[in-house]
Amino acid sequence: MRGHIAKKGNRYYAVVYEGIDAATGKPRHRWHAAGETRKGAEKILGDLVKRMHDGDYRSPDKITLGDYLLERWLPSKRTRVKPSTASAYERNIRLHINPNIGLIPLQKLQPEDLDELYVKLLTEGKRNGTGGGLSAKSVRNVHATIQSALSDATRKGTVFRNVADIADPPSISRSGRSMNVWNGDQLRTFLEAIGDHELYPLYFLAATTGMRRGEIAGLRWRNVDLEAARLTVNQQVVSVEYELIEADLKTASSRRTIDLDEQTIAMLRRHRRHQLEDRMATGQRGDDGFVFAKPDGTPVHPDLISQTFQRFMTQSDLPTIRLHDLRHTHATILLQQNIHPKVVSERLGHSSIAFTMTVYQHVMPGMQAEAAATFGAAVFGE
């Protein structure tokens, strides 16, 4: 295979000879966009030569980025990832990628195209009619979708470099992440205010265990041991295009056992008794179903859990938090009460204690000061 480096304007191209065109009888050359440096173009040309030598070279077609994502990559990806992950990929493609850069030929996509996309999404990316931009985390998720798709395309020889690897998505600083939590008095005020609501037991359990929304929705009675005062988290219920799916947990460390306090056990006993009474009244049998279920036995929809909580927030004088912040509230109160971070990490199902301490470092300064005072008193006396 013969090839050379060419330059047009500020861009370099790796140009390869693909033989004689049977239709015209003329030599056929293929130009591959290679960025703004000759060194990068030389590397891509070397990769092309190696692929031809190894028999792996494919002459690229003129498919657009949008068609590649929806017609080739996503159908293949669905067989290798969770349904919820595939749904998130599709949502990113249809809402944010294809409307902006989907018509760009896959072979001509440049890092600058992605940089411009990310800036646009940060400033005006919301699609719910309210205007404004997406969060840095949401834009990073869009970037991850593109990066994964182009990585597969590179591996299969459809493109010869992953331009997402050299694009500049927004960074997310954990130290600068805002986290809204309640103190113990505020949490108790909230629980007392919703005591008559049918989802009160659900929010009570979320607050006293730090469980995630999907874990709460997927909890079954067989995984609750009221005598031993503990429950086991081993599955979740997620919403994919509003359809409920029982799925594996987020990570291996998410599978865990959580000990329960006396108030939570008492609440669960009352809730179970009421649930069994309702089932007997409707002729249903068995008590091994979902802990939080609709009258027909199906789990409470995760979106309904979030939406109901947000309605509570609009009617409350308490500081506004998200449903997920009940999880952060649980962890923060424990850490403020000097519970060891390793115990908190295990209750939350984090992958490591280091992750827990990074996320909740806002609690640590006070603990550090207390530790310093304790040390000083031990060595030098009061």
- Give residue-wise pLDDT tens across range 310-360: 999 999 999 999 999 999 999 999 998 889 999 999 999 998 888 888 888
Q: Is the pTM of this model over 0.85?
A: no
Distance CA 114, CA 135 (A): 16
Higher pLDDT, 25 or 289: 289
| Residue range(s) in the chain whose domain bears CATH number 1.10.150.130 | 65-172
**The pLDDT of residue 33 is above 90:** no
pLDDT of residue 209: 97
182-215 tens-digit pLDDT? 999 999 999 999 999 999 999 999 999 999 999 9
One-character DSSP codes across 114-172: HHHHHHHHHHH---SSS-----HHHHHHHHHHHHHHHHHHHHTTSSSS-GGGGS-PPP-
Domain 65-172: CATH superfamily, name plus number = Tyrosine recombinase, N-terminal domain (1.10.150.130)
Q: Of 142, 90, 88, which Cα lies nearest the Cα of 114?
A: 142
CATH of domain 185-320: 1.10.443.10
Phi, psi of 19, deg, nearest 5? 100, -165
Work out the mean pLDDT of the chain and round it to a whole number: 86
Of 133-137, 146-150, 265-269, 375-379, which gets the smallest average pLDDT?
375-379
Q: Give the percent of the chain with pLDDT over 90.
A: 50
Q: Which residues contact 239 (CB under 8 A, 6 or more apart)?
A: 84, 245, 301, 302, 303
Of 77-91, 106-120, 279-293, 324-338, which gets the smallest average pLDDT?
279-293
pLDDT of residue 175: 45
Q: Report, as an integer, the average pLDDT of 157-173.
A: 84
pLDDT of residue 287: 53
Confidence of residue 129 (pLDDT cuts 50, 70, 90): low
Q: Report, as an integer, the average pLDDT of 146-157.
A: 89
6: phi > 0 → left, psi -120 to 50 → alpha, else beta; which? beta
